[in-house]
């Protein structure tokens, strides 16, 4: 199905009249957005049906990617570009006096995720569809996404993100496929014909209504599905009212409590709170998702359950959806009458698992009492899995009680979700080489000894379609002019750019693109923050969630240091810098919020001090999100990836920057290590402690932050600045930070890495003055970024873990 520009204009005008009831002359940009969105969604629906039917007809194995988070961002541009309509629509709209870019900006981000983990899930969906793989997302349709961040007087304030206020044009409600999810009640056990049966009684049923979002592949007619579940109360609940068992007020409250299950996304990406609502959300997702997959499976394969693991792969993104394991066991045993052994055999061959962190505060554990009460049957199954598994442990480690209890799934009245995930899945992967190594050698060492065959690495990736084609059209054209377009379907072919790394003409083109992108960001900064930034300054960017281990603090300390140097001697010759920050702090994470305040206080002082002659500017951009990231990445010169080595599992922001020609200033942590291996040491700025050194300092307990404070006058001056009143707020504002470093001994080695960091910054400064060298490094980074496309990552998951193949069309 294709159409001309003229046909598009006619169709578009008709729709606008019918849907919105307006003439094109009266249409607002928002009207245009809604009309265009509906048009595109309908346009892809034929391919959507065709793809779904095609998978079924060919009995393709399908993978379901379960994630509590999908940080999708906007979809208009992706869908237009992926379905090949960009030119016609752009020209058509222009002739009707609308700019496509303005239409893109009308879309509210789907912010159903916190950060890296949720964005990874979104990139994976794009790669699955673009590579023709039968792979779908399974998530929750939160009524409120991640909060909107406002900066008020330098402090973070949180506003609710009611992204559904305007109808979401991409979703289709499928009420006919509603599923019931059971909570509470009790289990009656009965023995019939020497077989135990389990009867779940007196439960509450919550309705799970699916909303499907099409996931459009790049120019390949494949359209997969992201299925998001919404919680609704049951029609039968009205009986409560008509039978006069509850009054109207209580009924409304009951209804609200049910809808709350898909009410909001928990806004913390690294510490778990044992909140019952969160547990409900997790079970709601996996029970609805698994039951729905199971229904589909039975329609296609009848009762041939032994085919399940051949035809279905279930992947869990971190431990959040791990209850899918007992849920699948429950369906197989209670509903399908399989024996425990048969059910376990199938489950173990179906579920695979990705670990995302080694931070201990992020390891999920649920109190036994909570799970028992909310999910009585699921708890029984977990207990049985644990018992059988502990018996196995006993045969490997007889009489080693301590070892067995430390490895058990249930212990200390808690369920250890990571243990359940490792024991019951057939594949456990980390997200970068170093992360997987740390899992094997340290964090999950005992499990690696038990199940070495399960462990594998899948280094994260990002979709180059969003992060290069969509976000940076100028760079995309420049690349296309040099090496053609084959790299788009095979991003590793970006390496052909290497031959241009020292080509003066190509370098200048890259420089022009960067300058234009910097100008665009500079305008945005002026509009939002009222700060005028110098386009010839180095745009030095750290955007990511605020967290102590990510060390935004190291960055601010260094800025304070530079400022002190300049106020002492305004004539010091440094390359002008614009330090750009962005990122949200979890609302309850006071320390991270203080760091935001510190950045903003430093910004106020630095930006308003005429004596330093605009050599430094500091900008905090509020509400870091996918759409903001798309504006920032193309304009960055320096990518700050400065986590304490061993703490960042992979990082994906680092890859987005690299692909857009920024140079990394980073520690040997996460995927920075692989970036360094690819571009070579001479094309990256690496500094600081290695992971081994960090782990050694931690175990030896030999680090003394105060010694550095006492011996390095720069460090002393910076810390002392926190306790003076040159920074607005002064001592009372920042003493928590001061004491976390000096009294609590600087858990993340900020002071220990300060000297190396400052030295690396000097090298950045020197290198930037050598324009040819800088541009050569930049081109080299772009050229090697293809390795970090999520197409490569997904290809690896498909072959090594899921055993799926591209569909035959
Ligand atoms: C990529 C991305 C992240 C992850 O960034 P890291 O630097 O890897 O922590 C977080 N939030 C958004 C909006 C992103 O696009």
Q: What is the pLDDT of residues 766-802, one digit of tens each?
A: 999 999 999 999 999 999 999 999 999 999 999 999 9
Residue recorded with tokens 């059209």? 473
Q: Residue 544 C-alpha to ligand 1 middle, in angstroms? A: 5
> Cα(464)–Cα(621) distance, rounded to whole angstroms?
24
Query: DSSP class of residue 465?
Result: I
Q: How far is CA 290 from CA 177, 385, 547, 575, in A?
A: 13, 19, 34, 57
Catalytic residue among 419, 464, 594, 656: 656
Q: Residue 350 C-alpha to ligand 1 middle, in angstroms? A: 30
Using DSSP, state whether 190 is helix, strand or coil: strand
Q: Among 640, 498, 531, which Cα is nearest to 582's?
A: 640
pLDDT in tens, 624-656: 999 999 999 999 999 999 999 999 999 999 999
356 as an active site residue: the answer is yes
- CA-based Rg of the chain, rounded to a whole angstrom? 27
615 as an active site residue: the answer is no
101-122 in b/e form (b: 16+ CB < 10 A) is eebbebbbbbbbbbbbbbbbbb
Helix (H) / strand (E) containing 507: helix 504-529
> Cα(338)–Cα(353) distance, rounded to whole angstroms?
24
- Strand 577-582: give its sheet, edge to edge: 616-621, 577-582, 538-543, 638-641, 663-666, 685-686
> Cα(548)–Cα(270) distance, rounded to whole angstroms?
11
> Cα(498)–Cα(90) distance, rounded to whole angstroms?
33
625 in ligand 1 pocket by Cβ < 6 Å?
A: yes
| pTM summary value | 0.98
Indicate which residue's Cα is closest to atom 5 of ligand 1: 653
584 in ligand 1 pocket by Cβ < 6 Å?
A: no
Span 750-767, average pLDDT: 98
Q: Find residue 365's DSSP bridge partners.
A: 416
Q: Find residue 196's DSSP bridge partners.
A: 191
> Cα(619)–Cα(600) distance, rounded to whole angstroms?
8
**How confident is the model at residue 536, as a pLDDT?**
97
**How confident is the model at residue 101, as a pLDDT?**
95
Assign 194 a pLDDT band (cuts: 50, 70, 90). Answer: confident
270 in ligand 1 pocket by Cβ < 6 Å?
A: no
**How confident is the model at residue 360, as a pLDDT?**
79
User: Angle 63-272-389 (CA atoms, 0-180°, nearest 5)?
Assistant: 60
SS (H, E, C) 252-311: HHHHHHHHHHHCECCCCCCCCCCCHHHHHHHHHHHHHHHHHHHHHHHHHHCCCHHHHHHH
Q: Residue 636 C-alpha to ligand 1 middle, in angstroms? A: 15
**How confident is the model at residue 219, as a pLDDT?**
97
Catalytic residue among 320, 419, 454, 544: 544
**How confident is the model at residue 243, as a pLDDT?**
67
CA 734 from chain center: how many Å? 30
User: Angle 294-297-302 (CA atoms, 0-180°, nearest 5)?
Assistant: 115
pLDDT in tens, 567-599: 999 999 999 999 999 999 999 999 999 999 999
Catalytic residue among 41, 320, 419, 550: 550
Structure tokens at 353: 């698992």
**How confident is the model at residue 195, as a pLDDT?**
84
Ranking 244-258, 365-379, 692-706 by mean pLDDT, the lowest is 244-258
Neighbours of 333 (CB within 10 A): 21
Structure tokens at 609: 């001090």
pLDDT in tens, 417-457: 999 999 999 999 999 999 999 999 999 999 999 999 999 99
Q: Among 571, 730, 507, 749, which Cα is nearest to 643's?
A: 749
136 as an active site residue: the answer is no
**How confident is the model at residue 242, as a pLDDT?**
67
> Cα(705)–Cα(621) distance, rounded to whole angstroms?
31
pLDDT in tens, 98-134: 999 999 999 999 999 999 999 999 999 999 999 999 9
Using DSSP, state whether 258 is helix, strand or coil: helix
**How confident is the model at residue 557, as a pLDDT?**
98
> Cα(352)–Cα(426) distance, rounded to whole angstroms?
6
> Cα(20)–Cα(265) distance, rounded to whole angstroms?
32
pLDDT in tens, 73-107: 999 999 999 999 999 999 999 999 999 999 999 99
Query: DSSP class of residue 561?
Result: H
**How confident is the model at residue 1, as a pLDDT?**
65
**How confident is the model at residue 731, as a pLDDT?**
73
SS (H, E, C) 16-84: HHHHHCCCHHHCCHHHHHHHHHHHHHHHHHHHHHHHHHHHHHCCCCEEEEECCCEEEECCHHHHHHHCC
Assign 617 a pLDDT band (cuts: 50, 70, 90). Answer: very high
Look at phi and psi of residue 414 and say left if phi exceeds 0, alpha if psi is from -120 to 50, else beta.
beta
Neighbours of 152 (CB within 10 A): 9
What structural domains and CATH numbers belong to the chain?
Answer: 1-58+78-98 (no CATH), 59-74+109-425 (3.40.50.2000), 464-793 (3.40.50.2000)
**How confident is the model at residue 212, as a pLDDT?**
98
> Cα(506)–Cα(776) distance, rounded to whole angstroms?
10
pLDDT in tens, 346-382: 999 999 999 998 887 888 999 999 999 999 999 999 9
Ranking 230-239, 426-435, 540-549 by mean pLDDT, the lowest is 230-239
- pLDDT surpassing 80 at residue 182: yes
Contact between 751 and 758 under an 8 Å Cβ cutoff? The reply is no
Q: Among 233, 260, 37, which Cα is nearest to 142's?
A: 260
> Cα(331)–Cα(317) distance, rounded to whole angstroms?
21
Q: Among 361, 429, 435, which Cα is nearest to 650's?
A: 435
Contact between 681 and 463 under an 8 Å Cβ cutoff? The reply is no
Span 717-739, average pLDDT: 91
Ligand 1 atom closest to the Cα of residue 641 is 7
550 as an active site residue: the answer is yes
Burial of 300 (0-12, 13-18, 19+ CB in 10 A): middle
Mutate to test the pocket of ligand 1, among 111, 123, 545, 547 (most ligand atoms within 8 A of CB): 545
**How confident is the model at residue 255, as a pLDDT?**
87
**How confident is the model at residue 248, as a pLDDT?**
77
> Cα(343)–Cα(326) distance, rounded to whole angstroms?
10
Residue recorded with tokens 């409900």? 280
Pairing type for strands 204-216 and 223-232 reads: antiparallel
**How confident is the model at residue 236, as a pLDDT?**
65
Q: Indicate the average pLDDT of the chain.
A: 96
799 as an active site residue: the answer is no
**How confident is the model at residue 239, as a pLDDT?**
66
Span 231-243, average pLDDT: 73
Mutate to test the pocket of ligand 1, among 544, 582, 622, 626 (most ligand atoms within 8 A of CB): 544
Span 45-64, average pLDDT: 97
Q: Residue 462 C-alpha to ligand 1 middle, in angstroms? A: 10
Span 302-306, average pLDDT: 96
Query: DSSP class of residue 467?
Result: I
CA 554 from chain center: how many Å? 24
| φ and ψ of 481, to 5 deg | -60, -35
Mutate to test the pocket of ligand 1, among 265, 543, 654 (most ligand atoms within 8 A of CB): 543
Assign 241 a pLDDT band (cuts: 50, 70, 90). Answer: low
**How confident is the model at residue 142, as a pLDDT?**
98
Catalytic residue among 347, 357, 495, 652: 652
């Amino acid at each position: 199905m294709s159409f001309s520009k003229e046909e598009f204009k006619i169709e578009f005008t008709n729709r606008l009249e019918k849907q919105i009831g307006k003439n094109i002359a009266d249409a607002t940009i928002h009207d245009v957005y809604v009309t265009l969105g509906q048009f595109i969604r309908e346009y892809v629906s034929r391919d959507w049906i065709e793809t779904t039917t095609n998978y079924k007809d060919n009995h393709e194995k399908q993978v379901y990617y379960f994630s509590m988070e999908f940080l999708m961002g906007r979809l208009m541009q992706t869908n237009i570009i992926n379905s090949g309509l960009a030119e016609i629509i752009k020209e058509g709209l222009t002739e009707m006096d609308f700019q496509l870019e303005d239409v893109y900006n009308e879309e509210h981000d789907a912010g159903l995720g916190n950060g890296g983990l949720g964005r990874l899930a979104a990139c994976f969906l794009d790669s699955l569809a673009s590579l023709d793989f039968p792979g779908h997302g399974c998530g929750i349709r939160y009524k409120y996404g991640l909060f909107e961040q406002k900066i008020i007087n330098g402090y973070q304030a949180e506003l609710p993100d009611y992204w559904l206020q305007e109808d979401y044009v991409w979703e289709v409600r499928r009420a006919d496929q509603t599923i019931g999810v059971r909570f509470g009640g009790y289990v009656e056990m009965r023995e019939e014909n020497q077989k135990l049966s389990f009867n779940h009684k007196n439960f509450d049923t919550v309705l799970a209504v699916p909303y499907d979002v099409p996931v459009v592949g790049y120019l390949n007619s494949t359209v997969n599905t992201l299925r998001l579940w919404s919680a609704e109360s049951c029609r039968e609940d009205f009986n409560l009212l008509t039978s006069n068992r509850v009054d109207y007020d209580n009924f409304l409250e009951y209804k609200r409590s049910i809808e709350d299950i898909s009410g909001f996304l928990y806004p913390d990406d690294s510490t778990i709170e044992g909140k019952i609502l969160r547990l409900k959300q997790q079970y709601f997702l996996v029970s609805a998702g698994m039951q729905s997959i199971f229904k589909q499976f039975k329609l296609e394969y009848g009762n041939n359950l032994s085919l399940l693991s051949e035809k279905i792969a279930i992947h869990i993104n971190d431990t959040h959806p791990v209850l899918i394991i007992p849920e699948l066991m429950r369906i197989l045993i209670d509903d399908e009458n399989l024996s425990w052994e048969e059910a376990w055999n199938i489950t173990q061959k179906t579920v695979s698992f990705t670990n995302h962190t080694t931070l201990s505060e992020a390891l999920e554990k649920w109190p036994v009492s909570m799970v028992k009460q909310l999910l009585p049957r699921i708890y029984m199954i977990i207990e049985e899995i644990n018992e059988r598994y502990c018996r196995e442990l006993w045969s490997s480690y007889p009489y080693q009680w301590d070892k067995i209890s430390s490895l058990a799934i249930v212990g200390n009245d808690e369920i250890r979700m990571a243990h359940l995930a490792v024991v019951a899945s057939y594949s456990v992967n980390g997200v970068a080489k170093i992360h997987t190594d740390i899992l094997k050698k340290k964090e999950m060492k005992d499990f690696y000894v038990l199940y070495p065959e399960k462990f594998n690495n899948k280094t994260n990736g990002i979709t180059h379609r969003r992060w290069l084609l969509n976000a940076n059209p100028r760079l995309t054209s420049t690349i296309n002019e040099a090496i053609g377009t084959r790299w788009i379907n095979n991003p590793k072919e970006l390496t052909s750019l290497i031959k241009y790394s020292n080509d003066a003409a190509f370098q200048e083109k890259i420089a022009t693109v960067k300058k234009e992108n910097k100008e665009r960001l500079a305008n945005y900064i002026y509009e939002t923050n009222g700060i005028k930034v110098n386009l010839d300054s180095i745009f030095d960017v750290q955007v990511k969630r605020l967290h102590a281990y990510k060390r935004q603090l190291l960055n601010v300390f260094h800025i304070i240091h530079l400022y002190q140097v300049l106020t002492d001697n305004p004539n010091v010759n440094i390359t002008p810098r614009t330090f750009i920050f962005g990122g949200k702090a979890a609302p309850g994470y006071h320390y991270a919020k203080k760091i935001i305040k510190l950045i903003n206080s430093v910004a106020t002082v630095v930006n308003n001090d005429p004596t330093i002659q605009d050599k430094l500017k500091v900008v905090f951009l509020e509400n870091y999100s996918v759409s903001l990231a798309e504006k920032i990445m193309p304009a960055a010169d320096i990518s700050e990836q400065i986590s304490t080595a061993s703490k960042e599992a992979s990082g994906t922001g680092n890859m987005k920057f690299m692909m857009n020609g920024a140079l990394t200033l980073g520690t040997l942590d996460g995927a920075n290590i692989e970036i360094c291996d690819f571009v070579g040491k001479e094309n990256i700025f690496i500094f600081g402690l290695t992971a081994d050194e960090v782990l050694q300092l931690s175990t030896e307990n030999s680090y003394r932050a105060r010694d550095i404070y006492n011996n390095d006058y720069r460090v002393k001056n910076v810390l002392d600045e926190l306790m003076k009143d040159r920074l607005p707020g002064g001592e009372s504002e920042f003493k928590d930070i001061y004491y976390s470093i000096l009294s609590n001994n600087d858990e993340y080695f900020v002071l220990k890495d300060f000297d190396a960091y400052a030295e690396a910054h000097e090298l950045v400064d020197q290198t930037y003055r050598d324009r040819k060298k800088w541009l050569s490094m930049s081109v080299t980074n772009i050229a090697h970024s293809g390795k970090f496309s999520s197409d490569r990552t997904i290809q690896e998951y498909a072959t090594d873990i899921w055993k799926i193949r591209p569909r035959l069309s």
